[in-house]
Each structure stands twice: as C-alpha cells, then as structure tokens.
Amino acid sequence: MTDQATGAEPDMESDIPGKPTSASRTTLSHIMTHNDTNLLGTVHGGVIMKLVDDAAGAVAGRHSGGPAVTASMDEMAFLEPVRVGDLVHVKAQVNWTGRTSMEVGVRVLAERWNESAPPTQVGSAYLVFAAVDADGKPRRVPPVIPETDRDRRRCQEAQIRRTHRLARRREIRELREQRAAEGFED
C-alpha cells in the first residue's frame, strides 16, 4: 500500500504511542427543530452533514491531540428522513490512521423524543481528517489501536476506501494531463 499505519501494528517511524479506538469515540446528540427543516418539512441534509462533521472533528481532535481539519467526506448516505422533534445521535470513531491523516466513521441514529422505541439508523459517512499544527502544517497522529473484531474490520475497510480514493485521484489527474496534452482546456 503506502506509508500508512495499519492500525493493528505500531507505527515504527513514530515515537508517538498508539491510542485505542475507545479513547476518542464520541456521541453528539441534538434535538431537531423547525429551524432545521427543508422545503419538504423534514430535516435538511446539510444540517445532518454539519452534525456529522462536528462529531467527526471532535473525534479527530481527541485522537490526534490537537487541531484536525476535514480533508474529505466519503459515502454520506441518507437512509431515512429525519423529522422535527427527532433526537439525533451522531456516533463517531477513528477507523484508521496514516502519518498525518485519519478516517473517522460516523453513524447517525434518530429516535422520537417522546417515544421509547429504539433509535433507527438514518445515515452514515466516512470522513478523512488531517491533523495540523498552529501554522496549519500537517503533523503526525498516533496510530489507532483497534480493540474489537468490529474495530479491526472497520480498519481494513478504511484501508480499502483509502486505496480507492488515491486510485480515483490518480486516474482523474492522469486524464486531465492527457486532455491538456491533446490541447483541451477545461
């Protein structure tokens, strides 16, 4: 692959001790109001995306021990609409770490504020964060140490997503270079 840490093994290039998955896992909860609705009367997807980014950012900052910025968001899936009055729980954890970046997996659950039914999964996303120093330059992150079989599976899946992201970027860059060489201006 690349110079990424696998999560299961310590990063031999770094003297930064690893952190277990549970060390930075978090849940952000928010009740949805009329201010959050779209034209259809359900909660606007952008409101959910903001909550996802907030929770993932908190996890990335906790894991890296300082500021981390959103580098990309993959596979934001909206599975069910969220309604006014729903209590939304955004659960996030670090799935994988590289030298200066980390993937955070997020699950979005919703439950009626006045019912005792279990929460329903309404969305999920994967975000990549880059840890930065005070000057905005990349800085090293601790390796993540998966604790459960589920954590190990998430780490493996994150590595697959990373490989696909890098391949997609490379193919797009090569296509643009080819088109530029052929005289096309984009």
Give the integer Cα–Cα distance in Å for 14 and 11.
Answer: 6
Residue 82 has pLDDT above 80, yes or no: yes
Each residue's pLDDT tens digit, 20-61: 999 999 999 999 999 999 999 999 999 999 999 999 999 999
The pLDDT of residue 151: 97
Helices within 3-82 (DSSP H only): 45-64
Amino acid making up residue 54: D
Coil, strand or helix at 137:
coil
Coil, strand or helix at 112:
strand
